[in-house]
Structure 1
Amino acid sequence: MSHKPTVLAVDDTPENLHVLMDLLKVDYAIIAAKDGEKALKLAHSKEPDIILLDVMMPGMDGYEVIKRLKSEERTKDIPVVFVTSLSEAGDETRGLALGAIDYITKPFNPDIVKARVRNHLELREAVRMREDVERIMRHDLKSPLTSVISLPQLILMSGDFDDHIKSMLGRIEDAGYTVLSMINMSTALFKMERGTYSFVPESFDLAAVVRKVFLGYEDTAQMRGQELVLEIEGSTAVPGQEFMFFGEELLCYSMLGNLVGNAVDASPKGGTIRVRLQQTDDSVRISVHNPGMVPEDIKNRFFAKYATSGKDRGTGLGTYSAKLIAQAHKGDIFMDSVDNEVSVSVVIPR
């Protein structure tokens, strides 16, 4: 027997519950509650796939129920569709702000009820499948990457090689770490979008991260006659100079990789791309500067998802992911384009 998705219907009017149960019982397993307290208990014990929640109920109303659902780890991801006879836009806005994904109005239109429930359950299943596929990909890709990362060091230990060979092996190892970070980041960014990412900061050398990012773009920059420059507190950094930072190293590596990569792509031949690291008593500023101008068609949506212009291979996700990473660090990100120079700055409170 195939498993039917579970729908929790919550309404203080028995007639409304009977109507919903009659509409949905063929395709779904229906459980019902006549008040907010019972709804919360069923949500915790049964973990339904979707909740149809009446707004106006005596005692605990629908707004309070959804607040409590979204505050609990076990129930916060259950999609909630409000059921209401209210038509004012303000009521819908309030519900959506609390986390409801949709509204169904009374009296019920059978086709609309069935379509809304079906569509939201299919969407939730698609999200689950995406997460499962990403977990499988991360697991299966990490095995061959272990060889890519470890073999260069084993080769170096097996003989005496000139500096050119050592450099090439080092780049293979760095490329392996880059791909590994991309695999790890795929799920992290998805969780940031949903507001479920667990931020775990540590102290690390941000200047070393910038140098590693530069290494990944070194060949492209050289072919274009471009220079990659790191500046710390207003002066060109000397080799080995540190800039300690409290955050997540992998996130910062990904953020800087995207911003520097965009700067290299957008800069003319012979241009200089500068990464500047500065700190004050209350904040840290990470900024990437490059010659050029931002195209007019993306100025107002520079950090929007899929915003791109003039790049056949561009996904439009680089600056968007940089924004998510800045926000994960409780900071913000800004773009300026004046006097033929573009600067993207991330400001993070200390």
Structure 2
Amino acid sequence: MAESGRRDHTARIPPGGLRWLILLGRRHGPHSYPLLGILCLAVLCAVALPLINALVIYPTYTKIMIGTFEDSARRLAVLTIPPSIKHARLGPAVLDTPRFLADVYRLETDFGLLKVRVLAPDGMILYSTETAEIDTVESGPEFRDVVAKGRRYARLGVLHSEPVLGRTTTIDTVAAFVPLMRGNDFLGAFELVFDVTGPKRELERFNLYATAGSFVISFALLGVVLVLIRQEAAKEHSRHQAEKLREDVEQITRHDIKTPLLGVLSGITYLENFTDLDADQREMLDDMRRAANTGMELISRSLDLYKMETGTYEYLPGEVDVLSVCRRVTNDLSGLARRAGVIMETRFEDKPLAREEVLVLSTEENLFYAVLANLVKNSVEASGLGDKVSVHLRADAGKGEFSAAVHNPAPVPESVRANFFDKYATAGKRTGTGLGTYSARLMVEVMGGRIHMDSSEERGTTVTVTLPLKPRT
């Protein structure tokens, strides 16, 4: 029977590489949020860094390289134009001088230019390294829309040499147009074509190394994070298995301990019915019966809590006079309060609770008693000599709610305020198990209500239970 009630915490975890990642996100998952954040960052870097290299860094360096050759073209063009024609519109008569042709030839040979062209304002090619282009017209949009308006322009290109022994050589080039201006008057332009094969290859090599390096760094970081996450998941799995084992042992113990208690009760009944007992012996047997019944009740309540945890508890509400239950709780705990020197007060609608007052709710009496007794007992135990524990009861017909607020002047330690209703959360109680407020929360939720705690150094601590006045349909 105990075996059938066990929960298999690992049965729903799929096998394979995702097992440890799923385990990491289980009960204590928030402890691993920093590792999961680093994992996401590593994945983002692995994807983003190569993209940044390809879409930002490499185009930027290419643009810088083109700009450098464009600026060199401007300086070379200025040096090549003879001073006598520097401010004249370029035409056949102006450029047909031995000095100009010599300067152009020297420009080609000394600076290793692949091509030089001189263009008139209307786009006619006055001079070109490729003589077949002379007297033709440059009609490209770059010349018409950019260069002719006085702005420099450069573009990256490729030249293919004539095949030699079946092989064609590819040369990377930068073609730079340099306009010659006199004020706003366009005088003509130079086009200089540079061989940039070497620099471009170096740039591509740099981009390749940068991309590969970013991949290596990102995936190394990713690997380290995955190892850390796997280690964390293994620890979490071990904790999870230990908790499962503890719960299984508790289930078996709760189930099996009933047998000897039933034997004790049977023995007490036999002694009462079939033996001669004096008054002291009967009083002792009564005490033994009460102790055994208390043990049975505690075991039954423990089993009920387990069913609440697993969602298998069968809630059977009935008509309950909750004010009568409140009076019974205060009476049952009055002895504990007297021994602790604590004053107890119960009020209904801001007035002392009278014996004749009645308020019937649809709930389960044992659950309501257990919740209220638990909270009042905790408040008494947390209070000091001369402190007052008050229970404020209120029925709000407008909201359709009944509330019971238990207050004591002692604040809850800050270390447990955030997880006050969590399992095993306790502080300041030498024999505390951390199950009281947790079980109260479970029972209130089963009853369809809410439970809330407010605590501060100035106001003390108030735990409020809110239940519906009418049963939910």
Task: Check if 1:324 corresponds to 2:449.
Answer: no
* Stretches of structure 1 lacking an aligned partner (at least 5 in a row): 1-48, 50-72, 98-116, 153-157, 160-165
Structure-2 residue corresponding to 1:255? 371
Give the distance between the partners of 1:275 and 1:146, measured in 2 at CA: 40
Shift of 1:190: 1.1
Shift of 1:312: 0.9
Structure-1 residue corresponding to 2:454? 336
Q: What do residues 249-300 of structure 1 show as CA deviations (whole Å, max 9, x unaligned)? A: 2222221222111100111212221222222232221221112211122111
Q: Structure 2 residue aligned with 1:221, among 324, 337, 347?
A: 337
Q: From the superposition, tell whether residues 266 and 126 of structure 1 become closer, same or farther in structure 2 (CA, over 3 Å).
A: closer
SS, match of residue 269 in structure 1? coil
Give the distance between the partners of 1:181 and 1:267, measured in 2 at CA: 27
Structure-1 residue corresponding to 2:255? 135
Does the 8 A contact of 1:286 with 1:347 survive in 2? yes
Structure-2 residue corresponding to 1:82? 14
Question: After superposition, where does 1:1-350 map in structure 2 within 5 Å?
Answer: 79-83=11-15, 127=247, 130-142=250-262, 144=264, 178-281=294-397, 282-338=400-456, 339-349=458-468, 350=470
Shift of 1:139: 4.2
Does the 8 A contact of 2:341 with 2:384 survive in 1? no
Does the 8 A contact of 1:181 with 1:250 survive in 2? no
Does the 8 A contact of 2:261 with 2:292 survive in 1? no
Quick one: which amino acid aligns to residue 135 of structure 1? H
Shift of 1:325: 0.8
Instruction: Compute the TM-score of the two structures, normalised by the length of structure 2.
Output: 0.43
RMSD: 4.6
SS, match of residue 82 in structure 1? coil
Residues 319-328 or 201-210, more deviating: 201-210
Q: From the superposition, tell whether residues 179 and 253 of structure 1 become closer, same or farther in structure 2 (CA, over 3 Å).
A: farther
Give the distance between the partners of 1:202 and 1:318, measured in 2 at CA: 24
Residues 278-287 or 328-337, more deviating: 278-287
Quick one: which amino acid aligns to residue 288 of structure 1? V
Q: From the superposition, tell whether residues 84 and 348 of structure 1 become closer, same or farther in structure 2 (CA, over 3 Å).
A: farther
Does the 8 A contact of 1:232 with 1:278 survive in 2? yes
Give the distance between the partners of 1:233 and 1:171, measured in 2 at CA: 39
Q: What do residues 169-215 of structure 1 show as CA deviations (whole Å, max 9, x unaligned)? A: 99998877654432211111111122222211111122232233223
Quick one: which amino acid aligns to residue 140 of structure 1? P
Does the 8 A contact of 1:293 with 1:337 survive in 2? yes
Shift of 1:335: 0.6
Quick one: which amino acid aligns to residue 423 of structure 2? K
Shift of 1:245: 2.2
Instruction: Compute the TM-score of the two structures, normalised by the length of structure 1.
Output: 0.57
Does the 8 A contact of 1:145 with 1:176 survive in 2? yes
Quick one: which amino acid aligns to residue 443 of structure 2? I
Does the 8 A contact of 1:205 with 1:243 survive in 2? yes
Does the 8 A contact of 1:148 with 1:176 survive in 2? no
SS, match of residue 418 in structure 2? helix
Give the distance between the partners of 1:328 and 1:348, measured in 2 at CA: 11
Give the distance between the partners of 1:171 and 1:218, measured in 2 at CA: 20
The alignment-based identity, stated in percent, is 31
Does the 8 A contact of 2:9 with 2:244 survive in 1? no
Give the distance between the partners of 1:121 and 1:273, measured in 2 at CA: 41
Q: Which has the higher contact order (CA 8 A, sep 6+)?
A: 2
Q: From the superposition, tell whether residues 145 and 316 of structure 1 become closer, same or farther in structure 2 (CA, over 3 Å).
A: farther
Shift of 1:348: 2.0
Does the 8 A contact of 2:371 with 2:443 survive in 1? yes
Quick one: which amino acid aligns to residue 416 of structure 2? I
Give the distance between the partners of 2:326 and 2:441, measured in 1 at CA: 18
Shift of 1:130: 3.6
Shift of 1:216: 3.1
Quick one: which amino acid aligns to residue 303 of structure 1? F
Does the 8 A contact of 1:232 with 1:243 survive in 2? no
Give the distance between the partners of 1:315 and 1:176, measured in 2 at CA: 22
- The total of aligned residue pairs comes to 249
Quick one: which amino acid aligns to residue 414 of structure 2? E
Quick one: which amino acid aligns to residue 137 of structure 1? I
* Stretches of structure 2 lacking an aligned partner (at least 5 in a row): 28-236, 273-277
Task: Point out the structure with max Rg over C-alpha.
Answer: 2
Does the 8 A contact of 1:307 with 1:316 survive in 2? yes
Does the 8 A contact of 2:13 with 2:19 survive in 1? no
Shift of 1:327: 1.0
SS, match of residue 215 in structure 1? helix
